[in-house]
Structure 1
Amino acid sequence: MPYASIMVTVDLTDEARSRVRLAKHLADDCHARLIGVAAEQAAYAVPPVGPTPGSAYALAAGDETILNDLRRAHEAFAEAAGGSERVAWRSNLGVPLPFLLAQAAAADLVVVGRRMEPVPALFAVDPADAVMHLGRPVLLAPPGVDHLDAKRVVVGWKNTREARRAILDALPFLKRASEVLVVSVDEEAASGGQDTLRLLQAHDVSAIHVRRDAQGRSVSGALVETAAEHGADLIVTGAYSHGRLREWVFGGVTRDLLAGAPVCCLMSH
């Protein structure tokens, strides 16, 4: 079953315009609704105790500034989305992540951008937070990527709950792909690979199981290299199967892909 509703986070960067165009192409391909989402809270200084002259004006001015920026984000979204009839916009004064979480019930797939360093853009959502908390598959769009063919797809496989979930969440992509590679990096990751192939075949997905030796590289590096060798522009993986804190301290596949994958990544937790 294709995605019926696709949500995309919007900010005021050029990367966001590319991201919206990518999401719009996906929505058109799936005949899905496209929902743009943006929120921000004014950066108020903590006032001293008691009434302060002009404080009410300062609060109102801060809100008005954010509302103006939200209007600009809406205009950028409408321009990049191309005026389709199946387009909706949702915005609010508030913290971006909680607002996105509240809207995610309306979407099958949420498209986010990479975290901007050193200072996140206005309205930006940390993709790691999105993956952990949305309860929806998250498509990470690298900067400057405005189209996703997904004719060739690499699936990073290890027999974990998150990887099993990711494969089901990615079925709309996998069913349309001409080549799907289920990649196990190192022998210990190959458990359940044949069962996964049989499940995909039952869903009319033609896939092959590939074992790769990391040979001193990271697992994420092996997946990216496999994608490059086969011309794949989408990597599908489970996210944070070892826990987010452990990954950020010791390193891990999710952290590395979120930080620097050159192609789109669909992740499920």
Structure 2
Amino acid sequence: MAALLTNFYFLVVWVIFSTVYLCMCCTEGDGHFGWQCDTVTGCFCKQGQRCQQTLGTCPEHCVDNPWGIGCHDEHGNLAYGKPASQSNTNFSYTDDEWFSATLAVDGNNSTADSNCTRTHHQPNTYWTVDLEGLSVIREVTVIKPAAICPQNNEKLCIKNDTSNHVNCISSTNAQCFGGVLRYNISPPILARHVTILKTGQQTLRLCEVIVRGYTYPYNVAFGKRAEQINVINEGDPGRAIDGKTTAYYLLESCTHTNDTLDPWWEVDLGQQYVVYSVTLLNRDENVHGGE
């Protein structure tokens, strides 16, 4: 009899625990979580994976609302190990080594000369990293080799391509402590390329570039069937979902319709989805009419 009562009490406790657990954790496929599991008080988790409120975390990272309950930006460096390049590369004949662009994304924060990039002393030198996909960028930290803050001839450019350097942020708008510049990107910018630019006759040296934020969510429209009202200049509708983020039309990744009354474009996702975000990337060069 005692054993039966023990099992009964255990069953009651387990039912209560399970009920509380289900109330605090959305099931897989809901796509969001929070105290009440809705889009108002909660925040989205990447592709609707199971999430656990009691642990206060989402798998990997959150999408579109990283400041919600239990959500936070990724703590890693989005630029770590990604392809980097610079306007030119200086060479140390003393140490017999190149000051290559990859030294700024190797995870080593040392300010020793051998661990930092360096260009030649030339006009408009720059360094850039390709994040290899869209990211929501919320902060960029630049570690310099000298414990001094740069003048206003250094800029941070965050874009979807590297065709030109416009709409950049001056280093005078960054917090600087002993040669470490921290750019707070508010509001956050959706982009793929991060560039450090120096104007005038300058040498650019960087020891590490740390990009904070989170990778943009999976695009359910990628590679699906798209249509639009008409096509000119080879601007096929499929270009809008080809996975390329370049905004320059001649690189053949933008759509184009004729000058038509009420033009439209649409994509068939192939099945039903809970859509929580739609992002449009327009052309970046001067165009006439709509975009």
Determine which structure has the larger strand proportion and give its number: 2
Determine which structure has the larger helix proportion and give its number: 1
Task: Flag the structure with larger Rg.
Answer: 2
1 or 2 for the larger relative contact order (CA 8 Å, sep ≥6)?
1
Alignment TM-score, normalising by the size of structure 1: 0.28
